[in-house]
Amino acid sequence: MSNSESNPSKEDLQVALEALTAAAKGAEKEIKRLRAVVEKADAKLLDQGRLLSSIATGKDSPSEMRERLTASETQNEDLLGRLEQGREAVDRMLAKLRFLEEKK
């Protein structure tokens, strides 16, 4: 093994650092987005708890409950899809980070 193979050049290190920095910023952005999704899901859960209370007390009619249930199910499917997309994006970023770390 030559000296240049065991010791990357300053330029190579700079490129790797920039790529790592970009990947970290991307991961941070994705984490913030996922936190927003979780907050939205928490709010939805709270709303569903209120709905359950109104069902138990008889405040809402069955048709109103059905409409709210349908809307909640649609939102739930949307949020689950977004979470899956977020997981996939984070997995891709982690794979890039691992690649860059192995390249060092």
CA 52 to chain centre: 28
- This prediction has a pTM of 0.46
* pLDDT tens for the 104 residues of the chain, in order: 444 457 888 898 888 889 988 999 999 999 999 999 999 888 888 888 887 887 778 777 778 878 888 999 999 999 999 999 988 999 888 888 888 888 76
Question: Counting Cβ atoms within 10 Å, is residue 88 exposed (0-12), middle (13-18) or buried (19+)?
Answer: exposed
pLDDT score for 1: 44
Query: Could you give phi then psi for residue 59, rounded to 5 degrees?
Result: -75, -30
Question: For residue 58, what is the DSSP state?
Answer: T
